[in-house]
A and B are shown apart, each in its own frame.
Chain A
Amino acid sequence: GENVEQHPSTLSVQEGDSAVIKCTYSDSASNYFPWYKQELGKRPQLIIDIRSNVGEKKDQRIAVTLNKTAKHFSLHITETQPEDSAVYFCAASSLGNTDKLIFGTGTRLQVFP
């Protein structure tokens, strides 16, 4: 089955700097890759997603890139702000009877003012 690895586990940046989180997946059939932000004690919230027919997607300060050949995808946050501090999870999903998401282990991002 699908396995998703995520790095780094923790990331500290200065406000205004960029942050990059990387994930790799094992199942070449995976075709949907969402990123979720989870604040302490809160529900995971989708911040951006990408499908396998696209190599890059951007939404204001957030972008995601996908390399299907290498089976990895990355989250890029530019001009980080303290409110970006949270745990970020990548996930991968395969099309089939079950569209279950396989999550990475999470990255705790801290943005210092």
Chain B
Amino acid sequence: GAGVSQSPRYKVAKRGQDVALRCDPISGHVSLFWYQQALGQGPEFLTYFQNEAQLDKSGLPSDRFFAERPEGSVSTLKIQRTQQEDSAVYLCASSLRTTTDTQYFGPGTRLTVL
């Protein structure tokens, strides 16, 4: 079946612009995660949704970062007034239930802020 998909795959933004990154999880997956992966580093947790509820946003770096999952499926990560330090790959992952099930990752969106 279809895996996790993300769009766009690449995004170039000028400093100060707003961007929106989309994640389509595996159908029926309850849990959805956003991670940020800087070059040469492991993914770092940003935020977690259980269905439409955002249960943990402790990893969001600043109030410029906002995520939503209004209908419990597709999720959007929005970054306002982008800064150069926001340049990274943003990975989305989904898992079937709310316990520690396997997390399946999407291909990521590579964001470059000039």
Total CB contacts across the A-B interface at under 8 A: 62
Interface stretch (choices B37-45, B63-71, B73-81): B37-45
CA distance in complex: A51, B102 (Å) = 11
Asked if A44 contacts B56 (CB within 8 A), the reply is: no
A104 to nearest B CB, angstroms? Answer: 6
Instruction: Give B11-55 interface residues, CB cut-off 8 Å to A.
Output: 31, 33, 35, 40-45, 48, 55
Q: Is B108 touching A100 in the complex (CB atoms < 8 A)? A: no
Contact count band on B: 20 to 34
User: Which A residues touch B98, using CB under 8 A?
Assistant: 99
In the bound complex, do residue B43 and residue A44 qualify as a contact, i.e. CB atoms below 8 Å apart? yes
Residues 102-114 of chain B, each 1 if its beta carbon lies under 8 Å from chain A, else 0: 1111111000000
Which secondary structure dominates chain B's binding surface? loop
Query: Which range contains the number of A residues in contact with the other chain?
Result: 20 to 34
Out of B43, B55, B102, B106, name the residue touching A97 (CB < 8 Å).
Answer: B55
B104 near A102 with CB under 8 A, answer: no
The 5 closest A-B pairs by CB, nearest first: A103-B42, A32-B100, A98-B56, A100-B45, A43-B105
List 15 additional contacts besides A43-B106, A99-B100, A101-B45; criterion CB under 8 Å: A31-B100, A32-B100, A44-B91, A45-B105, A46-B102, A46-B104, A51-B100, A89-B43, A91-B42, A95-B99, A98-B58, A99-B31, A100-B48, A100-B59, A101-B35
